[in-house]
């Protein structure tokens, strides 16, 4: 809080900080992503389940609590080139069959531990036949981690982000750093 007070005092000196309205995660873009990537509501549900398998809910919220599935689709739609998008979609569409082949069940019917096994095995596939599947899961994992860590919930409630990092110290003993463990 001391830092925040300092910030406020400085704001007075500099003539007042302007509060900027946050750039809302636009619903239109989310819908556009579903549309362009041809994601049905079943697939959206599936993506949420995969994201939850990667980062489950526990003492702190999990991926789908933060609607990370929407973030994944917006990033794939807006920030990946067409070839990568095609590969992502292809891998996505093959995932349910892959699960059934592995376990005899649909992903949503599996126990969490079985879901983890399927996702882990997909991430580790080396066979050329599964190149899109592996890519899809890798991309999903990457954006799940990013969407989780850079979510409003994480950056305000769990590990508050500071716009002011403090003065530089170039010789800090790691053993002197105190950190309380955050439980998942």
How many whole angstroms separate alpha carbon 25 and alpha carbon 71?
A: 9
Closer to other proteins by Cβ: residue 40 or 55: 55
Q: Taking Cα atoms as reference points, which of 174, 142, 21 lies closest to residue 71? A: 142
Q: How far is the CB of 107 from other proteins (least distance, A)?
A: 14
Q: How far is the CB of 100 from other proteins (least distance, A)?
A: 20
How many whole angstroms separate alpha carbon 48 and alpha carbon 67?
A: 8
CA 36 to chain centre: 20
Q: How far is the CB of 49 from other proteins (least distance, A)?
A: 13
How many whole angstroms separate alpha carbon 11 and alpha carbon 148?
A: 31
Q: How far is the CB of 34 from other proteins (least distance, A)?
A: 16
Closer to other proteins by Cβ: residue 40 or 160: 160
Which residues in this chain contact other proteins in the complex, by CB under 8 A? 7, 10-11, 13-20, 22-23, 25-26, 29, 53-56, 58, 60, 62, 74-75, 78-81, 112, 116, 119-120, 123, 141, 145-146, 148-152, 154-156, 158-159, 161, 163-175, 177, 179, 181-184
Closer to other proteins by Cβ: residue 40 or 120: 120
Give CA separation, 1 vs 4, 7, 16, 50, 157, in Å. Answer: 5, 10, 19, 38, 14
């Amino acid at each position: 809080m001391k830092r925040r007070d300092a910030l406020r005092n400085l704001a007075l000196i500099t003539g007042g900080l302007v509060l900027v309205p946050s750039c809302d995660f636009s619903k239109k873009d989310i819908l556009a992503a579903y549309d362009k990537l041809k994601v049905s509501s079943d697939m959206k549900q599936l993506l949420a389940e995969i994201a939850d398998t990667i980062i489950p809910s526990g003492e702190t919220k999990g991926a789908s609590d933060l609607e990370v599935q929407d973030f994944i689709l917006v990033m794939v739609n807006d920030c990946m080139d067409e070839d990568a998008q095609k590969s992502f979609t292809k891998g996505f569409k093959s995932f349910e069959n892959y699960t059934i082949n592995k376990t005899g069940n649909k992903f949503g019917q599996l126990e969490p531990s079985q879901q983890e096994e399927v996702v882990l095995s997909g991430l580790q596939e080396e066979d050329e036949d599964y190149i899109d599947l592996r890519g899809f899961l890798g991309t999903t994992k990457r954006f799940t981690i990013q969407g989780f860590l850079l979510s409003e919930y994480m950056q305000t409630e769990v590990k508050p982000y500071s716009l002011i990092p403090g003065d530089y110290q170039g010789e800090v003993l790691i053993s002197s750093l105190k950190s309380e463990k955050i439980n998942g």
